[in-house]
Amino acid sequence: MTEEIPRKLLDHGFISEDQYSKIHLISSGKIVSVFYELRSLFYLGVLLFTSGAGILIYKNIGEFGHVISIIVLILLTIACFWYVYKKAPAYSNSSVISPTPYFDYIVLLGALLFISVQGYLQFQFGIFNENLGLSTLVTSAFFFYVAYRFDHAGILSLAITALASFWSISISPQKWYSGNFLSSSNLHNTAIVFSTVVAVVSLGLDKKAIKTHFTFTYLNFCSLIFFIGAIAGLFIGNLWGVYLLLIYSGCVFTFYVARWKKSFLFLIYAFISAYIGTTYLLARTVLSEAIELWFLYSIVSCGGFIYFIVSFKNYFKQKS
């Protein structure tokens, strides 16, 4: 916003002198918001603290002892959740304002320390060896509770990730490089079913007006997992036509979500997945015997991507 806009609003009587004086301080640059910078520093501080605690224990384990280290981590975890329970407002299905500026960060710190305790117990003592899957499911359920109780979208992401891990759905560059994801038996089908079920549940919660601001996080995870599973199925097995239809169906849904949430991110998901599916279809049919047409297709597809960016640039602004 330029400095001329507040003056024009004042001249036309849309704002008062008092409002103009406050807005002018912002538009002139005399007052600058550091909200996002402070949030980034807080989150960085939480990550550095948990990482530093782990490194400190690892390098001095002989002096501290495993039991003392675990006790310290447990006490810190309890302290975090004692604080947030004491300060947290009553549960509400709508968005809740944090009672203190650092409330969300302490919730995140407690959740990360909880993972640290659980990981420490497993890797050092192996107490979850026989019930590792159940442990992951319990962790996911606990994070879902924390996310809804304290209205924390970041913890919700951890909960969805843990739930996906329970069903053996995890993606990493190493898995793509080694081909382990594609070679896992029916894992791509599990990913498709998992993402579909979670998406349906999230839409049901949204319809009932239960934490509707969480719907974006749910659908973001589900879209990624669904398209990864469908694209993986496209390249393996003989039912590539079925997976191609699934990709196109997912594109239609994500396009609807993009218009609903005013998010360009979902349009990117739909466009890239549709491009991969269409390219594979053409490679299996029209372009299989016409190598010279690949050059023309590359030019046309690049031009289509540029047109896509220009035409839908307004979707970069997410609905507030």
How far apart CA 291 and CA 90 sit, in angstroms, is: 64
Query: At residue 54, what are phi and psi to the nearest 5 degrees?
Result: -65, -45
DSSP code, position 121: I
Average pLDDT for the chain: 78
Give the pLDDT band of residue 320 (cuts 50, 70, 90): very low
Give whole-number Cα distances, 161 to 112, 141, 194, 220, in Å.
13, 11, 12, 12
How far apart CA 33 and CA 87 sit, in angstroms, is: 26
What is this structure's pTM? 0.75
Helix (H) or strand (E) holding 223, with range, is helix 215-235
Residue 227 has pLDDT above 90, yes or no: yes
Give whole-number Cα distances, 101 to 25, 26, 153, 158, 255, in Å.
24, 22, 16, 22, 36
DSSP code, position 317: S
**Neighbouring residues of 75: CB distance < 8 A, sequence distance ≥ 6:** none
Dihedral angle of Cα 182, 188, 191, 193, to the nearest 10 degrees: -170
Q: Which residue has the higher pLDDT, 117 or 215?
A: 215
Residue 249 has pLDDT above 80, yes or no: yes
**Neighbouring residues of 239: CB distance < 8 A, sequence distance ≥ 6:** 233
What pLDDT, in 10s, does the model give residues 278-306? 888 888 877 666 666 777 777 887 788 77
Return the exposure string of 38-61: e unless at least 16 CB atoms fall within 10 Å of the residue's CB, then b. Answer: eeeebeeebeeebeebbeebeeee
Task: Using the structure block, give the residue that is written with the tokens 């949030």.
Answer: 39
Q: Which residue has the higher pLDDT, 305 or 34?
A: 305
Which of 10-14, 140-144, 146-150, 187-191 is the least confident region? 10-14
Give the pLDDT band of residue 175 (cuts 50, 70, 90): very low
Give the pLDDT band of residue 239 (cuts 50, 70, 90): confident
Return the exposure string of 94-108: e unless at least 16 CB atoms fall within 10 Å of the residue's CB, then b. Answer: eebebeeeebbbbbb
Q: Which residue has the higher pLDDT, 266 or 285?
A: 266
